[in-house]
């Protein structure tokens, strides 16, 4: 997967959040994304997942199956854990989702019958992780996955990530707590001043991010302010609860005349928030259609 001179801002007149972002992410690579609050880590992860489209530049070679676990799992949905995971698997066209296996591995099998709004923060985090893993992703994107996890799960997750990477999954993790650094060979990228730069790896060498197709290994410098106001929790939850990008939601992606790739996401939100969320998504430049349920 290759990012070439990617730039992004949330609105047409908003400041750029990211500019001149170029790097490649080969299969089996684990990439830790760091940076201060508001630097643009989640934005970069959403671009990688295909939940946002670059305003400029290109992202190519994204694996067909993408798993994305948002920073805040959207618990405000009227499903039990089991029904939610079934639903997410169905939306993605996964015939035999390994829900029981992941529930056991992540130690939440006793919660399968519990409704999402009743979950603790850490348990909700695990369900978010499971929905990302169900797709057997070629690209797994985890936004602060360790936040709220109990010590046992926190210790187990780096091993799970290393296992997926060995099987060829590219894994991108934003991780304030730097738990992921225990994974051997992890690359590190810092989001700063509106662009990204490689950080020295733990052994003191600069983390290699091999470029493909002649693109730069790491981003060149750029200036960008931070964007204005963040979207509301509801709108964030809405996009987070959807299946990601070209992972496919059963709806086909297609290429536009300009060559950009498009994806159709199915988003389930509370009825009384639907109009507000639709307005925010439209303001962000998305095409929103309301479906009857």
Between 92 and 190, whose beta carbon lies closer to ligand ATP? 190
Structure tokens at 44: 């970069």
Report in angstroms the alpha-carbon separations of 107 from 44, 86, 121, 124: 30, 18, 14, 12
Q: Least distance to ligand ATP from the beta carbon of 232, Å?
A: 8
Please give the angle made by the CA atoms of 288, 290 and 293, to the nearest 5 degrees.
145
Least distance (Å) between residue 12 CB and ligand ATP = 12
Report the C-alpha gap between 153 and 95 in whole angstroms: 27
**Under rule CB under 6 A, residue 148 binds ligand ATP:** no
State the binding string over 3-42 for ligand ATP (x if CB under 6 A, else -): -------x------x-----------------x-xxxxxx
CA distances in angstroms from 175 to 29, 97, 143, 214, 265, listed in the order given? 16, 27, 7, 29, 26
In the complex, least distance from residue 225 CB atom to ligand ATP, rounded to whole angstroms: 8
Shortest Cβ 250–ligand ATP spacing (Å): 25
3-class SS shares of the chain: helix, strand, coil, % to 5: 30, 20, 50
Q: Is 195 in the site for ligand ATP (CB under 6 A)?
A: no
Our CB check for ligand ATP shows the closer of 43 and 195 to be 43
Question: Between 41 and 62, whose beta carbon lies closer to ligand ATP?
Answer: 41
Six-digit token string for 170:
């590219």
Q: Nearest distance from residue 52's CB to ligand ATP, in Å?
A: 9
Tokens of 206: 């600069």
Q: Are 281 and 231 in contact (CB under 8 A)?
A: no
Total chain residues near ligand ATP (CB under 6 A): 15
Closest by Cα among 51, 50, 40, 4 to 23: 4
The residues facing 223 across adjacent strands are: none
Nearest approach, Cβ of 26 to ligand ATP (angstroms)? 24
Site string for ligand ATP, 49-88 (x = CB under 6 A): ----------------------x-----------------
43 forms part of the interface with ligand ATP (CB under 6 A): yes
Both tokens assigned to 212:
């493909």
Q: How far is the CB of 261 from ligand ATP (least distance, A)?
A: 21
Nearest CB to ligand ATP, comparing residues 81 and 269: 269
Cα distance between residue 91 and residue 230, in whole Å = 28
Closer of 181 and 212 to ligand ATP (Cβ):
181
Under the binding rule (CB under 6 A), the answer on residue 226 touching ligand ATP is yes
Q: Which is nearer to ligand ATP, 260 or 283 (CB)?
A: 283
Among 28, 57, 122, 231, binds ligand ATP (CB under 6 A): 231
List all residues 6 or more positions away from 27 whose beta carbon is below 8 Å from its beta carbon: 63, 138, 168, 169, 170
What is the nearest approach in angstroms of ligand ATP to the Cβ of residue 101?
30
Q: Which residue has the tokens 């964007």?
A: 227
End-to-end CA distance of the chain: 36
Indicate the SS3 state at residue 89.
helix
Contact between residue 69 and residue 115 where contact means Cβ atoms under 8 Å apart: no
Q: Which of residues 161-190 bind ligand ATP (CB under 6 A)?
A: none
Residues making contact with ligand ATP (CB under 6 A): 10, 17, 35, 37-43, 71, 226-227, 230-231
């Amino acid at each position: 997967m290759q990012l070439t001179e990617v730039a992004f801002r949330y609105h047409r007149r908003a400041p750029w959040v990211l500019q001149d972002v170029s790097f490649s992410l080969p299969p089996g690579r684990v990439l830790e994304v760091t940076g201060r609050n508001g630097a643009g880590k989640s934005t970069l992860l959403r671009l990688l997942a295909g939940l946002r489209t670059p305003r400029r530049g290109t992202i190519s070679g994204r694996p067909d199956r993408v798993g994305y676990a948002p920073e805040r799992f959207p618990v405000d949905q009227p499903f039990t854990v089991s029904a939610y995971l079934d639903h997410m698997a169905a939306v993605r066209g996964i015939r035999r989702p390994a829900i029981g296996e992941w529930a056991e591995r992540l130690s939440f099998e006793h919660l399968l019958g519990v409704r999402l709004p009743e979950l603790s923060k850490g348990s909700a985090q695990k369900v978010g992780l499971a929905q990302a893993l169900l797709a057997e992703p070629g690209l797994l994107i985890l936004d602060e996955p360790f936040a709220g996890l109990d010590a046992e799960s926190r210790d187990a997750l780096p091993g799970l990530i290393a296992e997926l990477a060995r099987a060829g999954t590219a894994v991108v993790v934003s991780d304030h707590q730097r738990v992921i650094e225990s994974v051997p060979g992890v690359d590190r990228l810092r989001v700063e001043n509106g662009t990204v730069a490689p950080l020295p790896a733990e052994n003191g060498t600069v983390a290699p991010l091999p470029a493909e197709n002649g693109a730069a290994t790491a981003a060149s410098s750029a200036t960008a302010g931070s964007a204005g106001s963040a979207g509301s929790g509801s709108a964030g939850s809405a996009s987070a609860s959807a299946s990601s990008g070209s992972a496919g939601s059963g709806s086909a992606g297609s290429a536009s005349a300009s060559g950009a790739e498009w994806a159709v996401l199915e988003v389930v939100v509370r009825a009384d928030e639907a109009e507000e969320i639709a307005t925010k998504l439209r303001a962000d430049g998305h095409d929103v259609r309301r479906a009857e349920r």
